A and B are shown apart, each in its own frame.
Chain A
Amino acid sequence: MTHWLIAPVLVPALLGSLMVLWMRHDLLQQRVFGLIGSLLTLAVALVLTGMAAGGEVHVYRLGNWPAPFGIVLMLDRLSALMLLLTAILAVVVQLYGVGSGWDRKGWHFHSLWQFQLMGLNGAFLTGDAFNLFVFFEVLLIASYGLMIHGGGPMRLRAGVQYISFNLAGSTLFLAALGTLYTVTGTLNMADMAERVAMMPVEDTALLRTGAVLLLLVFAIKAALVPLHFWLPSTYANAPGPVAALFAIMTKVGVYAIIRFFTLIFPQDSVTENIATDLILPAALITLTLGQIGVLGTRSLTRLAAYAVVASVGMLMISVARFDAQGLTAGLYYLIHSTLVGAALFLVVDLVAARRGGDFWLRLRPAIANTGLISALFFLTAIAVVGLPPLSGFLGKLMILNATMDDPWMAGIWSTILITSLVALVAFSRAGSILFWKAHEMDPEPGNDTDEGEAPKRGPIPTKLETDEPIQDVADSAAPWLAFLSTGTLLAGSVALTLFAGPLTRYLQGTADQLTSPQIYYESVLRQQEGSR
């Protein structure tokens, strides 16, 4: 039994606590150790991806207890993929947090970052349903801290909404788990899956209730309409790098839906097509509402938040098929939308920082570094909208291809194509207001003093001390680092396009693994020599 599987949980947990205890007042040490923690997690994720690529499911039995009784961690291709994606995103966005100076706007940025990573990694690795709940709480409590990082009335209010919504979601999660435990008598995912598969159809009313409750919980995390109401205000008011990291948080919900509804409640089990029937319409509405939100909002941060909602809708359309092709396309879009969604939040933050914290979509005199930032915005917009040549186009093409023989094909295709046009209009408008028309405005002579004053009175004062200026260019430690990390995320999108072939083969392997649950029964429940 290899101990690598526990490392993605242990490394951030240890470093996070060390930073709280020993480096509370030393930002430099926090930065160094925070980055070391994220880089170590990335290294471990690479090792685990190598292990999982072979196609077998690795199982780690905590305390060496045999499977249905003890908690297990399991590593398959999907977990490895999610771990790697999280680690890459965490490292790059953390660099942005350092470069833009966001990490010194409040306390414990880097240790909360590590706890967030711990929760995310644990949620992706665990093979126990109740343990999944615990890791959800770990990542949520870290995200509450990160979300209100920097403070300010708007952010705190949005934080209260965010916590309340998620607390209600957690109680729903417990209700769902309780229901499933009553029916199946187990919480181990593989064991539960095997018992559900053997259950007579006439006894499954309660089981189906549990499955739908669980779907609701994960739909809250994934922000599927009508459970998306927490997302726009939360993401729009979160600090830029935190919102960028949160791009992976909606994907945790998507991951959990994929995990539970391929392993425990697959299409041929007693719950039949319950997941598809509920998710597909919700996903279509999510995509439509998300893109309308992108077009309708007058705030840049909210525009990025609605782009996240739309991307979840798009990827759930494909995942809702729960077959190998749909999952492959969905997972490709998942990787793409995580990287690009994060890049969008970072670009928006770059813009807002150079306009004295003004994130509203309105004419202001041209900003500093306007050439570089407008290029970044242009590339991000291309990727988000899904125009060739970047990965958004390929992802959309794969989703269209996967839904070709769907009975809802006409509805799906027209929704995807029309909403893409809506997004194109929205991003063109935003870009021309921000970068083109700005040149027509003369920098007003009196405006310079205003810009010094305006930030302090802006909707979100991000400062902690009264004498510390709100985020602006002068405040960022190393602007080049901020540009570099934004560019790296976009380079990720380019890499997704260039290496689409090998990646798709890996994703096909992932989808094949997911659609044959017997592999999981076998590895988790049968092969237990080392455990007695």
Chain B
Amino acid sequence: MEFLVASAVGAITAAGIYLILRLRTFAVVLGMTMLTYAINAFLFATGRLVVNKPPILLGHSNINPADYTDPLPQALVLTAIVISFGMTAVVVMMALGAFIEGGDDHINMPDDDRIMPTLKTLDDQKPEDETA
């Protein structure tokens, strides 16, 4: 089981990293989702993998810790899922906004961000963009 979980986390992380290195926002968002899945599975495994043991104490006397699984990672995973889900929604909205306003879905900043446009091209910029 350990091998299965570990290799799954590794494979999904690798896929996620490959995707976030792409130059288009869609691939990056997908990669980010993959990465958070992998991390969630990883966080779940930090409390050691055990089968058929509850995380919540039953009764108050004669408690043997070996009969229970660690409840904390489950709470952490829950928090991480909520946060990463919300963040993915934000990045999707932002990518959509950038696509609509900027006209393409490239991740890289256009040259105009770094290279000073001459005063002339500053005025002509809008029409140029539309023709391109």
Chain A positions within 8 Å of B, measured between CB atoms, are 130, 134, 137, 141, 144, 148, 151-154, 156-161, 163-164, 167-168, 170-171, 174-175, 177-179, 181-182, 187, 233, 236-237, 297-299, 302, 358, 360-362, 450, 453-454, 457-459
> Are B101 and A130 in contact, CB atoms less than 8 angstroms apart?
no
Interface residues of B in 64-86 (CB under 8 A from A): 72-73, 76, 79-80, 83-84, 86
Bound CA–CA A175/B25 (angstroms): 24
- Cβ of B57 under 8 Å from chain A: no
> When the two chains form their complex, are residues A161 and B107 in contact, meaning their CB atoms are under 8 A apart?
yes
The minimal Cβ–Cβ distance linking A248 to chain B, given in whole angstroms, is 21
In the complex with contacts A167-B32, A298-B116, A362-B116, A181-B73 CB distance below 8 A: yes
Number of interface residues of B (CB under 8 A): 46
Q: Would you list 6 pairs from A and B whose C-beta atoms are within 8 A, ordered by A residue?
A: A141-B90, A157-B110, A167-B91, A233-B109, A360-B117, A361-B116
User: Which residues between 30 and 63 of chain B lie within 8 Å of chain A, taking CB atoms?
Assistant: 32, 35-36, 38-39, 42-43, 46-47
CB atoms of B84 and A158 under 8 A apart: no
Report if B98 contacts A (CB, 8 A): yes
* Given known A153-B98, A457-B123, contact A178–B46 (CB-CB < 8 A): yes
Known: A167-B88, A178-B46, A453-B123. 6 other contacts (CB 8 A): A158-B113, A167-B35, A177-B43, A237-B113, A298-B116, A299-B116
Most buried by A among B25, B36, B80, B102: B80
Please determine whether B43 and A174 come into contact, CB atoms closer than 8 angstroms. Answer: yes
Among A134, A171, A177, find the residue whose CB has the most chain B CB atoms closer than 10 A.
A171
A152 engages B101 (CB within 8 Å)? yes
Chain A residues positioned under 8 Å from B107 (CB to CB):
160-161, 164
A153-B103 contact in complex given A160-B91, A174-B80, C-beta closer than 8 Å: yes
How far does the alpha carbon of A154 sit from the alpha carbon of B123 in the complex, in Å? 16
User: In the complex, A163 Cα to B107 Cα: how many Å?
Assistant: 11
Report how far A175 CA is from B10 CA in the complex, Å: 12
Render B83-106 as a binary contact track against A, CB cut-off 8 A, 1 for contact.
110111011001101100111001
Given A134-B79, A163-B87, A163-B91, is A156 in contact with B112 using a C-beta cutoff of 8 Å? no
Chain B residues, CB < 8 A from A174:
39, 42-43, 80
- Describe A's contact surface by its main secondary structure: helix
Q: Is B7 an interface residue (CB 8 A)?
A: no
Contact A454 B123 (CB under 8 A): yes
Taking the closest CB of chain B, its distance from the CB of A392, in whole angstroms, is: 27
List of B residues within 8 angstroms of A157 by Cβ:
98, 102, 106, 109-110, 113
**Contact present for A156 and B123 (CB under 8 Å):** no
From B32, B38, B102, contact of A156 by CB (8 A): B102
- CB nearest neighbor in A for B112: A459
Interface residues of B (CB under 8 A from A): 20, 25, 28, 32, 35-36, 38-39, 42-43, 46-47, 72-73, 76, 79-80, 83-84, 86-88, 90-91, 94-95, 97-98, 101-103, 106-107, 109-110, 112-117, 119, 122-123, 125-126
- Residues of B with C-beta under 8 A to A360: 116-117
The answer to whether A181 touches B20 (Cβ under 8 A) is no
CA distance A167 to B19 in the complex (A): 14
Residue on A nearest B106 in the bound complex, by CB: A157
Contact (Cβ within 8 A) B116 A148: no
**Chain B proximity of A281: nearest CB distance (Å):** 25
Q: Tell me how many residue pairs across A and B have CB atoms closer than 8 Å.
A: 130
Cβ of B94 and Cβ of A163 under 8 Å apart?
yes
**Chain B residue with minimal CB distance to A130?**
B76
Q: By the criterion CB–CB under 8 Å, are A178 and B98 in contact?
A: no
The answer to whether A137 and B83 have CB atoms under 8 Å apart is: yes
Q: In the complex, are the beta carbons of A154 and B113 less than 8 A apart?
A: yes
Is there contact, CB below 8 Å, between B94 and A160? yes
> In the complex, A152→B97 CA distance in Å?
9
Chain A residues whose C-beta falls within 8 Å of the C-beta of B72 in the assembled complex: 181, 187
Assess the B46–A454 pair: CB atoms within 8 A. Answer: no
Specify the chain A residue showing the minimal Cβ separation from B129: A153
Provide the residues of chain B in CB contact with A137, threshold 8 Å.
Answer: 83, 87
**With A and B bound together, what is the CA distance between A187 and B115 in angstroms?**
46
Nearest B residue to A363 by beta-carbon distance? B119
Query: Chain A residues near B39 (CB, 8 Å)?
Result: 171, 174-175, 178
Instruction: Say yes or no: B20 contacts A159, CB within 8 Å.
Output: no
In the complex, the chain A residue whose C-beta lies closest to that of B98 is: A156
Docked complex Cα distance between A360 and B115 (Å): 9
| Partner pick for A233 among B20, B42, B83, B113, CB 8 A cutoff | B113
Considering the complex, give the chain A residue whose CB is closest to the CB of B44: A178
CA distance A361 to B79 in the complex (A): 46
Q: Are A168 and B35 in contact (CB under 8 A)?
A: yes
What is the distance, in angstroms, from A118's C-beta to the closest C-beta of chain B? 15
* A263 → chain B closest CB, angstroms: 21
Whether A167 contacts B123 by the Cβ 8 Å rule is no
B residues within 8 A CB of A154?
102, 109-110, 112-113
